[in-house]
């Protein structure tokens, strides 16, 4: 459906697949360290935007029906320089097996109509009335979602119906857009117009994952598709990839039907949807994330003082401050890993010879009994998200910083969503801890907890 709506998306998927195949050929099995080709090729994240607490809660019900739960709180109002009046979370499967079956996340933003920095009291009321009168997620869809969540699945017929209705809820619709209303909102924020200027929601972008985002960037440019200036997130460097790198091509003009002030109906254009790709790296612990944030701030400071190209300055900072091997990241407790017996240890039964005492994973790794596998970051970065939003807006919009912004936090958004939003760290830490427990059972000796799990 999305490929039909935005044909450039098909090109992006095609190029992504080429890049992944070539990377496999170049790197061999090492290429799959952070995800098998099968999974990476299937993997996507989508972005949608809704207008109210009611719609946010309905979306959460819909995704719960697919085994997807809210993870992370992102406040893009402050992360962006331009006017981006939304708060967000991401819905995704949360355990490893489910993610392997359904590697799909949806970054979901809710318009903050009650934030006076963006909307006057009068406009807030008009917006809330407009959004309150639309009905994007119908009862049949939501009831099927509840049933799917309760029963952890649906019978074939209902499952098909559920997918059909869920897809339809995100399909572009050709109802004429009120030109005056849309353009008025657009002046404040293109994002506000995209959400509150139309009577439906739609998929803003659908993002494939690649194993080599630098190669992807070059290939897209070579095909004549203009990409945003820089890859967001960590720079390319010789050490391990951490967190998330993203880039996008600019939003394209799309034709829509408008109803103009003089009552006539006809074509007009708007520009809201773009194409994005991502490359995923290792999940960082709170301590690792703190270091990441410090490196980003250090990069900013150096750019301020001396100028230069962001990605190059960042590479310098990375080289100075971030350990340049997976092993060092692990030992310093900066990133999450799972621990498993090596094949040779499980085949030779050498664990029988271990002494009767507690072992650390470092000892076991040194003895060749255990190997560590990095846990891939499954979430998002607020600063990159803001960068992606921003680089695709025609202008900055307006905001009145004299006004006090409305408070939102992970608790407030959890209330709205109707389910506790977890911090991303929680799931990575559980995964590492569970692997340590399984390891202790496999060797029949206690295994000491790791620096990552202790945080
Ligand atoms: C969401 C922007 C955030 C990402 O990849 O960081 C995002 C949006 O444009 O609605 O998708
Ligand atoms: Ni995105």
pLDDT, tens digit, 9 for 90 and up, residues 355-405? 999 999 999 999 999 999 999 999 999 888 888 877 777 778 888 888 888
- Which atom of ligand 1 sits closest to the CA of residue 389? 9
At residue 228, does pLDDT exceed 90? no
At residue 80, does pLDDT exceed 80? no
Find the 195 Cα to ligand 1 centroid distance in Å: 14
pLDDT, tens digit, 9 for 90 and up, residues 406-416? 899 999 999 99
pTM flag (> 0.85): yes
pLDDT-wise least confident of 183-192, 194-203, 227-236, 295-304: 227-236
Q: DSSP per residue over 161-206, as a string?
A: HHHHHHHHHTS---PPEEHHHHHHHHHH-HHHHHHHSSSS----EE
pLDDT, tens digit, 9 for 90 and up, residues 248-302? 887 778 899 999 999 999 999 988 888 899 999 999 999 999 999 999 999 999 9
Phi-psi region at 144: left, alpha or beta (left = phi > 0; alpha = psi -120 to 50) = alpha
At residue 167, does pLDDT exceed 80? yes
CB 164 within 8 A of CB 1: no
For the chain, the maximum distance between any two Cα atoms, rounded to a whole number of angstroms, is: 87
Cβ < 6 Å from ligand 1: which residues? 47, 49, 107, 109, 204, 246, 276, 380, 384-385, 388-389
- Gap between the Cα atoms of 126 and 111, Å rounded: 14
- Gap between the Cα atoms of 346 and 63, Å rounded: 40
Quick one: pLDDT at residue 162?
98
pLDDT tier at 1 (50, 70, 90 boundaries)? Answer: very high
Write phi, then psi, for 170 (nearest 5 degrees): -105, 10
CB 204 within 8 A of CB 49: yes
Over residues 161-190, mean pLDDT: 94
Q: From atom 8 of ligand 1, which residue's Cα is the shortest distance away?
A: 47
Quick one: pLDDT at residue 421?
98
Over residues 315-322, mean pLDDT: 98
Query: The tokens of 377 are what?
Result: 């970051």
pLDDT tier at 335 (50, 70, 90 boundaries)? Answer: very high
Quick one: pLDDT at residue 79?
79
At residue 199, does pLDDT exceed 90? yes
User: Which span out of 28-42, 88-102, 149-163, 237-251 was modeled with the highest average pLDDT?
Assistant: 149-163
Mean per-residue pLDDT over the chain, rounded:
94
Find the 299 Cα to ligand 2 centroid distance in Å: 23
Q: From atom 3 of ligand 1, which residue's Cα is the shortest distance away?
A: 385
Domains of the chain: 1-283+375-422 (3.10.180.80)
CB 425 within 8 A of CB 67: no
Find the 107 Cα to ligand 2 centroid distance in Å: 7
Percent of the chain with pLDDT over 90: 79
Over residues 427-449, mean pLDDT: 96
Phi-psi region at 368: left, alpha or beta (left = phi > 0; alpha = psi -120 to 50) = left
For ligand 1, pick from 9, 280, 388, 393 the residue to mutate: most ligand atoms within 8 Å of CB: 388
pLDDT, tens digit, 9 for 90 and up, residues 14-56? 999 999 999 999 998 888 889 888 899 999 999 999 999 999 9
- Gap between the Cα atoms of 119 and 403, Å rounded: 10
Quick one: pLDDT at residue 334?
98
């Amino acid at each position: 459906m999305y490929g039909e709506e935005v044909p450039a998306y098909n090109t992006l998927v095609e190029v992504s697949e080429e890049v992944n195949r070539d990377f496999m050929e170049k790197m061999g099995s090492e290429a799959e360290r952070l995800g098998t080709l099968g999974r990476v090729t299937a993997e996507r994240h989508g972005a949608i935007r809704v207008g109210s607490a009611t719609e946010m809660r309905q979306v959460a019900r819909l995704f719960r029906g697919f085994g997807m739960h809210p993870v992370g709180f992102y406040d893009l109002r402050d992360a962006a320089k331009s006017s981006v009046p939304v708060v967000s979370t991401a819905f995704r499967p949360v355990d490893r097996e489910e993610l392997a079956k359904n590697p799909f996340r949806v970054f979901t933003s809710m318009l903050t109509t009650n934030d006076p920095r963006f909307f006057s009291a009068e406009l807030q009321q008009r917006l809330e009335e407009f959004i309150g009168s639309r009905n994007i997620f119908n009862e049949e869809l939501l009831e099927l979602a509840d049933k799917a969540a309760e029963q952890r699945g649906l019978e074939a017929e209902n499952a098909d119906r559920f997918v059909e209705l869920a897809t339809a809820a995100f399909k572009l619709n050709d109802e004429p857009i009120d030109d005056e209303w849309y353009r008025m909102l657009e002046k404040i924020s293109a994002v506000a117009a995209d959400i509150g200027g139309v009577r439906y929601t739609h998929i803003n972008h659908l993002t494939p994952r690649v194993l080599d985002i630098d190669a992807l960037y070059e290939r897209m440019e070579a095909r004549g598709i203009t990409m945003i200036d820089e890859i967001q997130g960590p720079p390319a460097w010789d050490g391990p990839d951490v967190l998330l790198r993203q880039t996008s091509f600019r939003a394209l003009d799309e034709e829509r039907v408008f109803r103009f002030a003089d009552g006539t109906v006809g074509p007009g254009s708007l520009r809201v949807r773009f194409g994005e790709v991502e490359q995923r790296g290792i999940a960082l612990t709170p301590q690792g994330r703190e270091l990441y944030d410090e490196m980003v701030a250090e990069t900013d400071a150096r750019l301020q003082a001396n100028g230069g190209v962001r990605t190059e300055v960042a590479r310098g900072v990375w080289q100075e401050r971030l350990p340049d091997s997976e092993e060092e990241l692990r030992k310093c407790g900066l990133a999450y890993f799972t621990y498993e017996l090596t094949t040779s240890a499980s085949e030779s039964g050498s664990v029988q010879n271990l002494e009767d005492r507690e072992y650390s994973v470092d000892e076991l790794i040194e003895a060749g009994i255990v190997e560590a596998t990095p846990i891939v970051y499954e979430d998002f970065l607020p600063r990159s998200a803001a960068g992606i939003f921003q680089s695709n807006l025609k202008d900055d919009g307006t905001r009145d910083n004299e006004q006090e912004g409305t408070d939102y936090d992970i608790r407030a958004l959890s209330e709205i969503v109707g389910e506790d939003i977890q911090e991303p760290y929680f799931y990575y830490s559980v995964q590492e801890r569970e692997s340590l427990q399984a390891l202790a059972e496999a060797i029949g000796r206690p295994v000491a907890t790791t620096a990552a799990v202790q945080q």
